[in-house]
Homo-oligomer: A and B are copies of this chain.
Amino acid sequence: MLEDKNQSRTSLSELGEFKLIDHLTKQTVIHHHQTIKGIGDDCAVIGRGEVQTLVTTDLLVEGVHFDLSYMPLKHLGYKAVVVNLSDVYAMNGDAKQITVSIAVSNRFPLEALEELYAGIHLACKAYQVDLVGGDTTSSTKGLLISITALGEVKKEKCVYRNGAKSKDLLVVTGDLGAAYLGLQVLEREKQVFQVNPNAEHELENYTYLVERQLKPEARKDIIQLLADLEVQPTSMIDISDGLSSEILHLCKQSNTGCQLFEDKIPLDQQVISTCEEFNIDSTTIALSGGEDYELLFTVKQEDFPKIKANPNFSIIGYMTDEANVAELVTRGGQKVAIVAQGWNAMK
C-alpha cells in the first residue's frame, strides 16, 4: 500500500526539463486529426476550419519561478499572464482567453489575492484577453499559479518552430539580457536588505532592468507589425529560456544550422553598463539570461528589405544547411558552438 522504497531511482535533475518532457510524453498517441500540433512547439494547434485554436500552459511556483520578497503580487499576476500570451504570439496568433488556477497557502490573506488578480485583470485589459475559468485551492506551501492561454490563428498564418530553411535570416525583436540582469539586481538588493533593513534602495540606475524583470510585456505589437509589413516568418519561438536555447530549438526542429553574429545581438545601454559594473560578459547574459519574452524568428532573404530598417528588429544571423551546427561568430571572428545554458526550472 505504501511506496516501495526499494524501487530504482533516477533523479529528475539528471535529465533536465526538456529531456524529462520528451521522456514522459514519448508514448503519446494522437487520436484526433483536428490535433494538428501536440507537444513540441510554443502552443498546441487544434483546427477544423480556416481558423485554428492555439493552446499553451505555464506553471509558476513560489520559490522556483518567483520570490515574493521583491515581486509585488500585482506584478506577478501581470507577468504570469504575459508569459503565456507570449507563447501564443510566438505562433503568429492572437491570444483570446485564459484560465487561471491558483493554489495558495493560508499564509496569504484575501487582500494578497486581490492584488494578484488586479495584475491578472490589468494584463487581460492590456492584451484584450478574456479570463474564462480556473480553479482555486489551498496549498500546503506557498503560492502556485497555473495559466492556460487560448488563441487563434488563420491556418496559413500559423508559424511553427520547424519551418526555417537554409539561408533564412535570423531576426530578434527588442533587446536581450535585461530581465536576467534585473533579477540579479533585485537579488543583490534583497541581500543588502537582509543585512541592513534600513539601507537605501539603489535601483535608479537599473530601472529598465528591473522593469523587464518585474513587468515584462509580450510582443503582441510585433504580430500586428509583421502582418502590416506582409512578412510571414518561416519559423518562430519566444525567448523565455535565453537566446541560445531558443536558437537550438529552431535548429533542431527545422533540421538546420545557424550562424549567429555576436556584434549583432541587441543590447540596451543599461545592460552594457551593468555588465561592466558586475564584471560579466554581456553576450553570455544575452545568450543565457532568459525571461526576455522577445520573439526570435526566421524570414526568407527576400523579406530583408521589409525588415532591415525597422527599429523593432535586429537581424542577428542566418540559418545554414548544416543540421544542428549552431555557432556564434564572435567579434574577433572566431566560431564558437552555441550551447544551451538557459534557465532551467528543473534545476
Q: Is the CB of B106 within 8 A of A138?
A: no
Q: Is the CB of B1 within 8 A of A136?
A: no
Contact with B along A1-42 (1 / 0, CB 8 A): 111000111111111010011011101111110110111000
Query: Taking the full assembly, how many copies of this chain does it contain?
Result: 2
User: Is A57's beta carbon under 8 Å from chain B?
Assistant: yes
Please classify how large the interface on chain A is, using the bins under 10, 10 to 19, 20 to 34, 35 or more: 35 or more
Contact with B along A129-152 (1 / 0, CB 8 A): 111111111111110101010100
Contact with B along A270-289 (1 / 0, CB 8 A): 00000000000000000000
With A9-B111, A106-B11, A137-B65 known as contacts, the answer to whether A101 contacts B146 (CB < 8 A) is yes
User: Is A154's beta carbon under 8 Å from chain B?
Assistant: no
Q: Is the interface of A mostly helix, strand, loop or mixed?
A: mixed
On chain B, the residues within 8 Å of A134 by CB distance are: 21, 25, 39, 57
Give min CB distance, A149 to chain B, whole Å.
10
User: Of A43-51, A155-163, A247-255, which binds chain B?
Assistant: A43-51
Q: Is the CB of B51 within 8 A of A48?
A: yes
What are 10 A-B residue pairs whose CB atoms fall within 8 Å in the complex? A2-B70, A2-B193, A12-B104, A27-B121, A35-B97, A35-B130, A57-B101, A61-B139, A64-B140, A140-B142
